[in-house]
Structure 1
Amino acid sequence: MNEIKLNTKDILEFRKKIGKPFDIILRGDSMLPLIMDKDIVSVRFSKEYSLGDIVLFSYKDEGELIHRIIKKQNNLFYCKGDNAFRIESITEQNIIGIVTKVTRGSQEIQIKKLSLLTKKILCYLSMRVNYLFIKHDRNIQICRMSLRFRTLRYLLNKLN
C-alpha cells in the first residue's frame, strides 16, 4: 500500500479548491480577547477580503496564522493579531479563508460584520500599537500599558 504524506498547508489548499467551509482548533493567544487558545474557529472561503476581516493564511515558514487584515495596499494585505505586535504582509494567494465563527465550549461567537468606521478605528489602533512596539524596542510590557493597547482591547471586548 502506498502512503501519502500531506502537510497542513496541502490539506488547507485542497479544502480551498473544493470550496467547503471547515473548522480548526486554534493554538496560541495572538487573537485575544476574541479568540482564545483551543477555541474552534469556522473558516469559509471568499473571493474578496477587506479591512477588518479575520483570515487564515500561510505565512512564510511559520505555517498558518489567523490574524486580522489591518491594511490593504495595492496587491498586499497587512495582517496583525489583535493581541500581537508584529505586522505580516501577504498576498491574496496566501489567504486560505475568512473566520466566520468561534466556538468555545458550548458558546458560539458569530464574527459580526462591522461598520467601515469601526473597522477603520480597530485597524488604526492596531497599527499604532505596532508603532509603539517598534518605537520602544519591541518592549511588550510598555505596549500593553499604553492607552492605545488598552483602548483596542476594550473595543474588542465590547464588539463580541
Structure 2
Amino acid sequence: MCPQRTRDSKEKPTVVIYTDGACSGNPGPGGWAAVLTYEGKTKEISGGEPVTTNQRMELKAACEALRCLKVPCQVTLHSDSAYLINCFKQKWYKSWQKNGWRNSKGEPVQNQDLWQALLAEVDRHEVAFEKVKGHAGVELNERCDALARAAVPK
C-alpha cells in the first residue's frame, strides 16, 4: 500500500488518512488506529498501550500513520480530535517551539514527546489537517474508532 515514486516523477503521491484514539479511563488502557488510502488501496494499522490518555492515542495514531509512508507524500489527514487539528490549524506548535515547549500559561506542553515525533513526520510530507465530526457516520472515521477500541489492552 505504501506509495512509491519513480525517479523521474516530481509529483508526490496523494494519500488520505483517517485516525482515531480511544481510552478506557483517562488515564487508562488505550488504543489508536489509522486507515490509509492510496490509489484505491487501503491499509489499516492499530496498536495499544496499557496506561495512557485519549490525547496521547490521538497523537500516536497520526504519527504512526505518517511513519508508514516510505516517500514524501501529499496527505490529507482526517481526525475527530480538536486537540490534534487545532494545533496545526492554529499553529500552536510554533509558539510552543519558540517558548521552549511551554504553553501560553508558561507550563510544559503536555505530550511533548509525541508532538515532537509528529512534527518530524509532518516535516517529511505536505499535510493538510481536516476535522471530521466523530460518531457521525463518516465511514473511515467509524472504522478507525472500531479499530482503536479493539486495540485497547484488556
Alignment TM class, shorter chain as reference:
under 0.3
TM-score (norm 1): 0.25
